[in-house]
Amino acid sequence: SATMTWHTDGSRYQASVEAGVSLLVTRVNLLVLRSEGEIDDFGIAPTRITEKRTRRAETATHFNRDKGTITFSASERTFPLQAGAQDKATVPFQLAAIGRGDVNQLGGDVDIQVGDEKEATMFRFQLVGEDELETKLGKLVTWHLTRPPKPGTYSSRLDIWLAPGMNWYPVQIRNTEASGALTTQTVSNITITESGK
């Protein structure tokens, strides 16, 4: 199971993803992502994300907007920072913001630079079509986007389903590894605070 959180005051944001397994008496987090940054003309503008996996040291990716670079605690590599660059935690929220802003933008390829632990890669999302999903919230009409594998860059396929009737929130995320290993997360609950932020 996983929990995604998003908070913004309109100019800054904080987002997190915690994915893990529940055992008899405890929960073990397998992955924790914590992202923070600003909201700018291109949408979400991360400044820093930390990633912690079970039995691995925490790593950080820095989006140095003053220098125009992306740097990493786990690598000495540097990448040019492109407009609209995201991190792993914010990609689904940025796609949701694009849908809210102008749904027609999702009709063509959506290219997003993603800073990811040791490198920055261009993710190309394509619209698969409209799907109806069965969820714990009932049947949801969704827009299904996919990032197919990109030879020489990443071997996994990433699918994201956005629900226009739920403020374009991501309601299902599926990762398919080259080995065939499949992870699917489907929404079970959406909680919005009183401020709506």
Per-residue CA distances from 139 to 131, 162, 187 (Å): 10, 13, 11
What does the pLDDT look like over 68-99, one tens digit per residue? Answer: 999 999 999 999 999 999 999 999 999 999 99
Residue-level pLDDT at 99: 95
What per-residue confidence (pLDDT) applies to 194? 65
Residue 178, by phi and psi: left (phi above 0), alpha (psi -120 to 50) or beta? alpha
Task: Give me the residue label for tokens 């700018």.
Answer: 40
pLDDT tens for residues 14-51?
A: 999 998 877 767 666 788 999 999 999 999 999 999 99
pLDDT computed for residue 143 by the predictor = 97
What is the model's pTM? 0.89
CA Rg, the chain, in Å? Answer: 17
Q: Output the pLDDT for position 35.
A: 97
Residue 197: band (very low, low, confident or very high) from pLDDT cuts 50, 70, 90:
very low
* The predicted structure's pLDDT at residue 195: 59
Structural tokens at position 99: 């849908």
Confidence at residue 84, expressed as pLDDT on a 0 to 100 scale: 95
Both tokens of residue 84? Answer: 């609209």
The 10s digit of each residue's pLDDT in 141-188 is 999 999 998 887 778 899 999 999 999 999 999 989 888 888 888 998
